[in-house]
Structure 1
Amino acid sequence: MKRQLTVLTAALILLSGCTEDDPEDATGATSAPASTSCPRELDTSLSAWAVAGFSGSIAVSTGGATDCLAAYGSADDRTPNSIDTTFSIGSITKAFTAATVYHLADDGKLKLDDMAGDLLPELKGPVRAATVHQLLLHTSGLKGTHGNDTQPMSEKEALKAIGKLELAAQPGKKYLYSNAGYTLLALIVERVSGSGYRDYLKSEILPLPDGRTAGGFWNGQPAAPGPRAVGYRDDGTADDAGEFSGPYWAVEGNGGLAMTTAELATWTHALFTGKIVSAASTRAIATPGRDIGEGRSEAPGWVAYDTSLYGEPLLATAGGGGDIGHNAVVVWLPRRQRVIAMASNKPKISAEELLQAVGPAMVAGKPLPVPRAQASKADLDAVVGTYQLGAGGSLTATVRDDRLAITAVGADAVAAIFPPPAGVPGSQLRAHEEMVGKLLAGETQEGRKERAAFEKQIGPMGKVTFLGSIAHGGEIRTYVSVLSSGKPVLGWFALNEEGGVEAAEVPTKEHPTLQFLPSGDNRYHPDDPTGVRPDVSVGFAKDRMTVNGPNGATTSAQRVG
């Protein structure tokens, strides 16, 4: 369950309004009425963001009192999102697991300096020496994954798989985000609680001060109640709706929880005001721990931001819902006891991207930015076709949802349409591709596992062709084509800095694709309302497509067929 935490700004502290209008989303469905408590001055702006593609829910509170609660877009093809809609919160689950560990410490059932191997005597491998505190701060040294989110895995199988994982460094020596580390914490909770991980959360961690319960699990029991939002991928297909039958130990502890944004906001306030764990444990969770750079420190289940970057300290955590297609983020601002919780179920504008887009203007006291103009109409059919690049790749233009969709096939085509954003040098993409090469060659422990899984599920693994890398949602994805039984299998891998698999999709449905809108004079710009992605444009003249990137480079492709 990969965490996706983009750079947050101090602007979040001023977010306190939503709309009471019923904006229409990209599918034609309308949102449920939003809270009338939201300030009128933000109505028009946030409605525009909903029309531009934000689909989800927003909850803001101060001192435990709700400032704003609203929903936009559609939960599925027919049903609007509402304030009661449940979303997967992905890796925000780690904050709940961390609180569970501290709750057990408060009860004297474990100590933070206990070693994993002492609490779980049957655990094998070098991670036995990692302490509970090191697991909480992602400094255990674990660099690999023990299973995919929806891989059926028992408690015994998870314990065995984690014990076989290699360490990137000795425990305590290096920060490396680890889903397996938080599953190991859940295994410890399972063992020492006397009631099991899920049961302990249900009885001790999820209950709210007002008697309600903060959601539940997306898959299995206790299930999060209420209507659920369907998650959608970039290609428009719907994802898992909570039908995985388990067992769940591939994701237990590191993901899996689901709830409304109101429940998430209420629970966050309860946590940091000492109503979930003791006052001492509350302070420990809120205290910055391992420095991870750029004014950030890892705290147990959270990331702490210092005052130099954001004007006042804050804690935040975020998560993509793995195979579920959701995105969620929650922010705690201790000075004013403010919580901002957002969740989304469509990729056009994620919860994190919306916060990133509107934040700077809020800080400056300026009107909120509006989404990029949707531009004028154009004859999209006139430019449909496949355009061949000189180096062998191709760009295929089709019409999708009344927009021009361009699919990049081949490394040169991917580089043209998906140039790396600022701060991601080309050398980083090349280094990532080298690690993927070693992975698929079976030169690493993770690689041997991936090859075995591929051959078990798909067939013999033959020649690997690299198809380029893109920066997507805070990670780098390298696309490959693997020859198996004479047929190519398309997939992508996202690895951490030590070569561990953070996310992967094999097979995947399509090559990297970006949607464009007309900007006049037979030119097109990306359908990116937030404007946070690389500035690429395409133009057409006769039978040629011209791509202009952020460095002014021009690539020309000839239409074929």
Structure 2
Amino acid sequence: MKALSFLSRGQVRLTGVTGLALGLALAVSAAGCSQAPGPDAAPASEAEAARDRLSDAFDALEAAGFTGIVGISQSGETLLMRGAGAADPQTGRPYGPDTQVDIGSITKSYTGMLAAQLISEGTLSAGTRLDEVFDDVPADKAGITLHQMLTHAAGLPGDVGDDLVDEDFDTFLANAFAAPLQFEPGTGYYYSNVGFSLAAAIMERVTGQTYEALLREYLMAVGIHQTGYQTVFDGDRSVHLADGRDVSEASWGGHPPNWNLTGNGGLVSTAPDMLAWRQAWSAGELISPDARDLGQTPFQDEGGGVSHYGYGLVVEDHAELGRMYWHNGGNRHFNAHWRELADHSLVLFVATDQRRLNADRVVSVLTAAWFDQPYEIPAATVSSHQRVALPDTPTGKLVEDFMAALAGDADAHRAFIEARFTPDLLTVADMDQHLSMFAQLAADFGGQPVTGFTATAT
């Protein structure tokens, strides 16, 4: 359940309404949007002005219902560290710098970082094959390399098991070896949690340490102590769901993470740790500069030529913002996003427990605020159990068709994709990937009625 269907990788452009990006919410949306006002008086410096804009944007996000934690730093100096809402709804404990959050698939960035270091120092090779590490590897997977796993080019499936079940490594490995490949290794791109778990297992075999112990060794060497799995988990500081479950229960199943999670998702961290981690990594202090540069190489086109995947991170070059590194992640309960605007030495981290103002959206708002650009924040929602009438417009018909497709089977999903996706979106991924996204969306909605929607021009 770590597919990013509700985050930026799952946003869709649909025909019938030109240039429309559609977002759906399980609540009635109040009319209008909020934009943070500028400061009343010009600050003494542009740096102070930027801080004020960030603070104003956070205020607007909080007023619109954001719940979570935000951390922003520049050149190692913290510019913003604020929480909004209750990290534990049952006790009222607020989000704050000490709140442990589930960073989801951002875990892949840590795995890619470690692998880059081990490759750079010669402990591992990017060309290390599965059959060089494990016994009885099926012929179709024997030649899969570590590099292919780290760049989602191995053809391995997204998942081969449930994050929450209590099962051992041998079960995971058997399931991974038995699963059919999406394509011949090295000939395509398919986002795979399985590949990163196998990469973590390879690192364990080569170093003789558990994945978590190896990760913690590197992190603690630069003063980062609150990131890991069960060795650092603290239920009193963890984010909780409204029903009382903490991360260990909601994301791990109430036991140590199984191998459907290890190395690809489920790490807990704090906002200060996340900023310190990325700062030390980027500076070549956490791993060597050579390892940093290796891992941040834009190896694999994700589709369309806009973004490329390095070792556990996305690399993009933006015409106005410059070079960006980032990754996001989430499950049905939590989501998070880290981003570095390398040309500006700016690092952002957001974690939240909701989807309407999810981490991707919040990062976009805060980035726009920093650069003094306009942004929109959906207004706070009002809970309702009544369905809303969809307007008799192309947009309304689009939503109606979309929801009908979600309620249907794979054939219904395929029919909607073929009829409604724009040609440019169809080329971003193959049909199996589009169908996988739809299946995840259907699971995320869980059969609940949609009582509102927002449409944003793009």
On whether the aligned pair clears a TM of 0.5, the verdict is yes
TM-aligned CA deviation for residue 356 of structure 1: 3.1
How far, CA to CA, are the matches of 2:388 and 2:232 in structure 1? Answer: 41
Match of 2:34 in 1: none
How far, CA to CA, are the matches of 1:261 and 1:208 in structure 2? Answer: 18
SS at match of 1:406: coil
Please identify which structure carries the higher helix content. Answer: 2
User: Where do residues 58-77 of structure 1 align in structure 2 (5 Å cutoff)?
Assistant: 58-77=70-89
Q: What runs of 5+ residues in structure 1 fail to find an aligned partner? A: 9-35, 375-400, 409-413, 438-465, 476-493, 516-525, 535-561
Report the residue type matching 2:335 in the other structure.
N
Report the residue type matching 1:284 in the other structure.
L
TM-aligned CA deviation for residue 340 of structure 1: 0.7
Q: What runs of 5+ residues in structure 2 fail to find an aligned partner? A: 11-47, 390-394, 426-430
How far, CA to CA, are the matches of 1:344 and 1:7 in structure 2? Answer: 17
Match of 2:411 in 1: 434
How far, CA to CA, are the matches of 2:257 and 2:406 in structure 1? Answer: 36
Question: Is 1:356 aligned to 2:376, yes or no?
Answer: no
TM-aligned CA deviation for residue 317 of structure 1: 0.4
How far, CA to CA, are the matches of 1:135 and 1:161 in structure 2? Answer: 16
Match of 2:353 in 1: 345
Match of 1:329 in 2: 337
TM-aligned CA deviation for residue 51 of structure 1: 2.0
Q: Is the 8 A contact 2:116 2:311 kept in 1?
A: no
How far, CA to CA, are the matches of 1:72 and 1:470 in structure 2? Answer: 37
Between the two structures, name the one with larger relative contact order (CA 8 Å, sep ≥ 6): 2
How far, CA to CA, are the matches of 1:126 and 1:246 in structure 2? Answer: 31
What is the root-mean-square deviation of aligned Cα atoms in Å?
Answer: 4.0
Cα separation, partners in 2 of 1:186 and 1:39, compared to 1, 3 Å: same
Question: Is 1:147 aligned to 2:148, yes or no?
Answer: no
Report the residue type matching 1:2 in the other structure.
A
Moved over 6 A (4+): 428-432, 504-508
Please identify which structure carries the higher strand content. Answer: 1
SS at match of 1:180: helix
Question: Is 1:315 aligned to 2:321, yes or no?
Answer: no
TM-aligned CA deviation for residue 134 of structure 1: 0.6
Question: Is 1:284 aligned to 2:294, yes or no?
Answer: yes
TM-aligned CA deviation for residue 107 of structure 1: 4.2
TM-aligned CA deviation for residue 191 of structure 1: 1.2
Question: Is 1:173 aligned to 2:187, yes or no?
Answer: yes
Cα separation, partners in 2 of 1:224 and 1:190, compared to 1, 3 Å: farther
User: Where do residues 248-267 of structure 1 align in structure 2 (5 Å cutoff)?
Assistant: 248-267=258-277
Cα separation, partners in 2 of 1:405 and 1:329, compared to 1, 3 Å: farther
SS at match of 1:191: helix
Cα separation, partners in 2 of 1:417 and 1:227, compared to 1, 3 Å: farther
Q: Is the 8 A contact 1:495 1:501 kept in 2?
A: no
| TM-score, normalised by the number of residues in structure 1 | 0.62
Match of 1:449 in 2: none
Match of 2:379 in 1: 372
Report the residue type matching 1:241 in the other structure.
V
Q: Identical aligned pairs, as a percentage?
A: 24
Question: Is 1:298 aligned to 2:309, yes or no?
Answer: yes
How far, CA to CA, are the matches of 2:147 and 2:63 in structure 1? Answer: 44
Match of 1:185 in 2: 199
SS at match of 1:152: coil
| TM-score, normalised by the number of residues in structure 2 | 0.75
TM-aligned CA deviation for residue 355 of structure 1: 2.7
Cα separation, partners in 2 of 1:500 and 1:152, compared to 1, 3 Å: farther
Cα separation, partners in 2 of 1:366 and 1:334, compared to 1, 3 Å: closer
Q: Is the 8 A contact 1:262 1:341 kept in 2?
A: no
How far, CA to CA, are the matches of 2:296 and 2:142 in structure 1? Answer: 27
Size of the aligned set, in residue pairs, is: 398
Match of 2:31 in 1: none
For residues 389-441 of structure 1, what are the alpha-carbon distances to aligned partners after superposition, in whole Å with 9 as ceiling and x for unaligned?
Answer: xxxxxxxxxxxx65354289xxxxx98583579xx9x9x9899832879xxxx
The counterpart of 1:51, out of the listed 60, 63, 76, is 63
How far, CA to CA, are the matches of 2:9 and 2:413 in structure 1? Answer: 26
